[in-house]
């Protein structure tokens, strides 16, 4: 592990929170960096030369010279000039949180879409920094590696880079369009959809897996792991539970507070699938000391996506980690306390989800002629059939249906 120092600059425009550096430390550990020391400075605004002030820079230089620190990681995003100046003074590699997140994401991305998202964000980050990176690679060959394949990037001229960004964005739009078509297809099927949204590592994928394991697509599990950004792509599963119509559940990309701007745009594109969900499940890790910050980040995203007025269920997960779960107070409604991995209150959770998804459904009666029996199969698939009796003219069916199904079968209402 490479010993590093974390630095945060607190300004009135971007005030520091205690958890900022803790979260940065957790991110750093995941790419093999070992945060051994931290430093925070309060300033009215960042210095254009080196972000931190002159005195602090001197202090930092002494630290770098007298300890075995090999790299400095800034919480705040650095301009190309600041980064260059800092490296010149400190004579070691300096990176910022955005670079760290990009590095982590590029290690994690496995699906085509995930890779594309990360590569667009990386190229956009690189573009304004091309000239300084050229200079830096001239000065310090090699480095620790986070600056990546410097040589290959060097070969890319600004124009090439711009063209690649355009190309990748076009491909991304294409990917998203294909998804949109799939989504429309599902809508045409009149299946209800549920979207899972939440801070990274909250347990979103675990929830999708829990639901899938009860349905027919048992074996189609997604990756759920104790690390940030496990999921870099949305995944949808059709869930078929006993005594309820099937519905689609979509797992989404996790996010962190203060997402770097380039990443935010790319990530938000992946949430497009959630826009017409019938229900949003907000998963939160109830055991984190930073629950308030996670809740805020989650709700901010909900607002940005225009999902403020959608039906929502807050799922307070990881209750098993609390010493007194019964004392846990939460001020949003409706909510449920669960432990997905322990299976605590999962049955109740599933019942609540089903009730909420289908709550607006109404009971209707249909007379389906025998020669149009496929409508009977349709009803069985997309609604809850309460009763069925056979008559001379056809099957008389009583079913609890959604407004979409009701619209579809209007002609057969009895
Ligand atoms: N103790 C405990 N751990 C849980 C619980 N639910 C999930 N976890 C663990 O939390 C970790 C993260 O779970 P994921 O489902 O991958 O979280 P995610 O929200 O999909 O994370 P990203 O995809 O990275 O955004 C995994 O190691 C899970 O096993 C729970 O109820 N209790
Ligand atoms: Mg996940």
Which residue's CA is the nearest one to ligand 1's atom 8?
203
Which position has the token pair 């609540």? 352
Ligand 1 mutation pick, 222, 224, 284, 298, max ligand atoms within 8 A of CB: 224
Same domain for 272 and 197: yes
Same domain, yes or no: 265 and 326: yes
Instruction: Specify whether 199 is located in the same domain as 334.
Output: yes
Give yes or no: residues 152 and 228 share one domain.
no
Interatomic CA distance for residues 400 and 140, integer angstroms: 69
337 or 158: which leads in pLDDT: 337
* Per-residue pLDDT at 129: 81
Q: 244 is in which domain, residue-wise?
A: 191-358
218 and 159 within one domain: no
Whether residue 233 is found in the same domain as residue 341: yes
Q: Are residues 237 and 347 in the same domain?
A: yes
CB 395 less than 6 A from any atom of ligand 1 = no
Last residue of a domain, one of 160, 189, 218: 189
Among the residue ranges 60-64, 198-202, 236-240, 322-326, the one predicted with the least confidence is 236-240
315 C-alpha to ligand 2 centroid (Å): 15
Relative to the CA of 251, which ligand 1 atom is closest? 20
Reported as a pLDDT band with limits 50, 70 and 90, residue 203 is very high
Please report, for residues 313, 316, 356, the alpha-carbon distance to residue 321 in angstroms, rounded to integers and kept in the order given: 21, 11, 27
Tell me the pTM: 0.80
Q: Give the pLDDT confidence of 377-392 residue by residue, as tens digits.
A: 889 888 888 899 999 9
Q: Does 208 share its domain with 309?
A: yes
268 and 219 belong to one structural domain = yes
Query: Among the three residues 91, 108, 125, which one is the final residue of a domain in this structure?
Result: 108
Give how many domains the chain has, as a whole number.
4
Please say if the pLDDT value at position 219 is more than 70.
no
Ligand 1, residue 229: give the atom nearest the CA.
24
What is the spatial distance between Cα 253 and Cα 330, in angstroms, rounded to a whole number? Answer: 24
pLDDT at 132: 59
Q: Is the predicted pLDDT of residue 307 greater than 80, yes or no? A: yes
Q: Say yes or no to pLDDT of 77 above 50.
A: yes
Domain match, 294 and 321 both? yes
- Sheet arrangement for strand 247-251: 235-239, 247-251, 192-198, 279-285, 312-317, 335-337
Q: How far is the CA of 14 from the centre of ligand 2 (A)?
A: 29
Instruction: Kindly state whether residues 310 and 201 are assigned to the same domain.
Output: yes
Residue 268 scores a pLDDT above 50? yes
Complete DSSP assignment for 230-249:
---S-EEEEE--TTS--EEE
Segment 350-363, tens digit of pLDDT: 999 999 999 888 99
The alpha carbon of 223 is separated from its chain's Cα centroid by a whole number of angstroms, namely 13
Backbone CA torsion sign across 166, 172, 175, 176: negative
- In 18-155, which ranges are continuous DSSP H helix? 18-30, 54-66, 80-90, 97-108, 112-126, 130-139, 150-155
3-state helix, strand, coil in the chain (%, to 5): 45, 20, 30
User: 202-220 burial, b for 16+ CB within 10 Å, e for fewer?
Assistant: bbbbbbbbbbbeebeeeee
Report the CATH number at residue 15: 3.40.50.11060
Structural domain ending residue among the three candidates 89, 108, 127: 108
Q: What is the DSSP letter of 226?
A: S
CATH number for the domain including 325? 3.40.50.300
One domain for residues 47 and 68:
yes
Give every CB contact of residue 227 below 8 A, 6+ residues apart in sequence: 30, 201
Angle at which helix 158-188 crosses helix 112-126, to 10 degrees, equals 150
Q: How confident is the model at residue 122 (pLDDT cuts 50, 70, 90)?
A: confident
């Amino acid at each position: 592990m490479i010993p590093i120092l974390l630095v945060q600059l607190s300004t009135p425009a971007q005030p520091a929170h205690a958890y900022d550096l803790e979260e940065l430390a957790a991110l750093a550990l995941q790419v093999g960096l070992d945060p051994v020391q931290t430093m925070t400075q309060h300033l009215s605004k960042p210095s254009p030369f080196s972000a931190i002030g002159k005195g602090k820079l001197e202090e930092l230089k002494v630290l770098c010279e007298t300890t075995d620190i090999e790299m400095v990681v800034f919480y705040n995003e650095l301009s190309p000039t600041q980064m260059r100046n800092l490296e010149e003074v400190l004579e070691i590699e300096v990176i910022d949180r955005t670079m760290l997140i990009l590095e982590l994401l590029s290690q994690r991305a496995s699906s085509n879409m995930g890779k594309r998202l990360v590569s667009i964000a990386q190229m956009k980050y690189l573009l304004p920094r091309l000239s300084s990176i050229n200079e830096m690679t001239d000065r310090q060959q090699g480095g620790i590696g986070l600056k990546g394949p410097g040589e290959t990037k060097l070969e890319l001229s600004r124009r090439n880079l711009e063209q690649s960004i355009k190309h990748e964005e076009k491909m991304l739009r294409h990917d998203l369009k294909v998804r949109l078509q799939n989504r429309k297809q599902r809508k045409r099927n009149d299946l209800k959809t549920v979207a899972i949204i939440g801070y990274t590592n909250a347990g979103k994928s675990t929830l999708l897996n829990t639901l899938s394991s009860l349905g027919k697509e048992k074996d189609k599990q997604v990756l759920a792991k104790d690390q940030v950004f496990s999921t870099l792509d949305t995944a949808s599963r059709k869930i078929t539970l006993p005594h309820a119509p099937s519905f689609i559940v979509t797992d989404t990309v996790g996010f962190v507070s203060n997402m770097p701007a380039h990443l935010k745009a790319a990530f938000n594109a992946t949430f497009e699938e959630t826009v017409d969900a019938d229900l949003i499940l907000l998963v939160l890790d109830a055991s984190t000391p930073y629950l308030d910050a996670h809740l805020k980040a989650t709700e901010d995203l909900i607002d940005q996506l225009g999902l403020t007025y959608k039906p929502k269920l807050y799922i307070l997960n990881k209750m098993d980690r609390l010493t007194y779960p019964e004392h846990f107070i939460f001020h949003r409604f409706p909510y449920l306390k669960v432990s997905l991995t322990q299976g605590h209150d999962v049955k109740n959770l599933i019942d609540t989800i089903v009730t909420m998804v289908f709550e607006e459904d109404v009971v209707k009666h249909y007379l389906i002629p025998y020669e149009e029996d496929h409508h009977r199969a349709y009803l069985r698939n997309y609604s809850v059939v309460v009763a069925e009796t056979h008559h001379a003219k056809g099957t008389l069916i009583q079913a609890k249906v959604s407004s979409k199904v009701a619209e579809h079968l209007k002609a057969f209402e009895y």
